[in-house]
């Protein structure tokens, strides 16, 4: 029997949305308040969905301890209470939540081997959220 398991994590980070390829006026028009040169922050909610057959011996898709340990080490330690613009993942891309979704998906896809990765979903605020399923 195949089940899909979703775990939710919280982290806080700052960012500034700004493209060097755009003029000052274009940046302001595209990113609005998010272009403020000093940056601003969010409490992000991250949902990681994995799937697979339910192991008959454990009753689990994967052991939550493994998922929690991986996310803690590879994602939360990397991004929590950091300025996303300073992170290596965002040297060439703008730390929008779209790009944050794909960056986190790639980290999980490369390193988490205990279950199939279905999807990464991030709530930037209570009013908006983004999903990436590797498409």
Are 80 and 12 in contact by the 8 Å Cβ rule? The answer is yes
For residues 20 and 56, which CB has a smaller minimum distance to another protein in the complex? 56
Taking the least distance from each CB to another protein, the nearer of 22 and 45 is: 45
Find the part of the chain contacting another protein (CB under 8 A) among 56-64, 87-95, 107-115, 126-134. Answer: 56-64
The string of DSSP codes covering 73-113 is: IIIIHHHTTEEGGGSGGGSSS---HHHHHHHHHHHHHHH--
At 84, give phi and psi (nearest 5°): -60, -35
- Looking at 1-9, 18-26, 35-43, 104-112, which segment touches another protein (CB under 8 A)? 1-9
Q: Which is nearer to another protein, 2 or 33 (CB)?
A: 2
Pick one of 7, 42, 87, 116: the residue that binds another protein (CB under 8 A): 7
Alpha carbons 6 and 68: distance in angstroms, whole number: 11
133 binds another protein (CB under 8 A): no
Count the Cβ atoms, other than its own, within 10 Å of residue 46: 20
Complex with another protein: residue 37 or 58, whichever CB lies closer = 58
Among residues 29, 36, 32, the alpha carbon closest in space to that of 14 is found at: 36
Determine which residue in the list 22, 60, 74, 82 makes contact with another protein, applying CB under 8 A: 60
Instruction: List residues binding another protein (CB under 8 A).
Output: 1-9, 49, 54, 57-61, 63-65
């Amino acid at each position: 029997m195949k089940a899909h398991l979703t775990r939710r994590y919280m982290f806080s980070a700052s960012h500034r949305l700004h493209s060097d390829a755009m003029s000052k006026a274009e940046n302001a028009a595209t990113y609005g308040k998010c272009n403020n040169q000093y940056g601003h922050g969010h409490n992000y909610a991250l949902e990681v969905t994995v799937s697979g057959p339910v192991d008959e011996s454990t009753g689990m898709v994967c052991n939550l301890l493994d998922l929690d340990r991986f996310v803690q080490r590879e994602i939360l330690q990397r991004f929590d209470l950091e300025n996303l613009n300073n992170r290596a993942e965002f040297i060439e891309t703008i730390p929008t939540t779209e790009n944050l979704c794909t960056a986190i998906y790639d980290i999980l896809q490369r390193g988490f081997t205990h279950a199939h990765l279905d999807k990464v979903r991030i709530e930037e605020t209570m009013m908006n959220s983004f999903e990436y399923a590797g498409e």
